[in-house]
Amino acid sequence: MERTQRPRRGAYMNPYVAGIMLGVTLLGSFLTLGAGLGASGGIARAAAYLERLADPARVEASAYFGAWGPRPLRYYLVFMLGGVFLGGALSAFTARRFSLRLERGRACSVSRRVLSAFAGGVLAGWASRLASGCTSGQALTGGALLLTGSMVFMVCVFAGGYAAARIARGQWDD
């Protein structure tokens, strides 16, 4: 694995402009759909669709997936999730930042990085379904509605991030 270079100056959007655009998008979602934004709902519906391809009777009998009916992909968060991937890819291509690489520090092996990323993704996905929402739904939608649980959640996310950074810092070069 070759070392990754730092992104060139100006390769990313101004975070204040991006924040304003995200806020306008959230407002538009509330005004047009009457609901906020999130990602885990789209992923869960995609999983229901894939499971339906393999065993439709099992999905229909499921108390969780079965409630979404025969067309689980007909849901606004599925389209939002697709838009996030397409928008991210478009941003990376237009800024000439797109490359396939595994980012890791010198002290972290490739297999350890891949297994850690996979385990973290599974844990985050499971937790988002357990909590009936993902971090983007909690932070964006719940934060915009000034929900106490969302505010406590964000404090815990930042505290956990700082704690995890101290633990993982030795794995990275910087």
- Burial grade of 76 (CB within 10 A; 0-12, 13-18, 19 or more): middle
* pLDDT at residue 81, as a whole number: 86
Mean pLDDT, range 110-118, rounded to an integer: 91
Q: For residue 83, what are the CA distances in angstroms to 7, 63, 76, 88?
A: 24, 28, 11, 8
C-alpha to C-alpha distance for 60 and 44, rounded to whole angstroms: 15
Q: Quick check: 117 and 101 in contact, CB under 8 A? A: no
Site of tokens 């092996």: 109
Question: What's the whole-model pTM score?
Answer: 0.68
Mean pLDDT, range 62-88, rounded to an integer: 87
In the structure, what pLDDT confidence band is assigned to residue 106 with cuts at 50, 70 and 90? confident
Q: Quick check: 100 and 91 in contact, CB under 8 A? A: no
Per 3-state DSSP, what percentage of the chain is helix, strand, and coil (rounded to 5)?
65, 0, 35
Q: Which of 51, 46, 53, 73 is nearest to 62 (CA)?
A: 51
* pLDDT at residue 49, as a whole number: 92
Mean pLDDT, range 153-173, rounded to an integer: 82
Write the single-letter amino acid at 173.
D
What pLDDT digit, counting tens, does each position of 1-21 carry?
A: 455 555 555 567 788 998 899
Residue 69 has which token pair?
């009916």
Average confidence score pLDDT of the chain? 84
Q: What is the percent of the chain where pLDDT is above 90?
A: 15
C-alpha to C-alpha distance for 141 and 124, rounded to whole angstroms: 18
Site of tokens 């997936």: 65
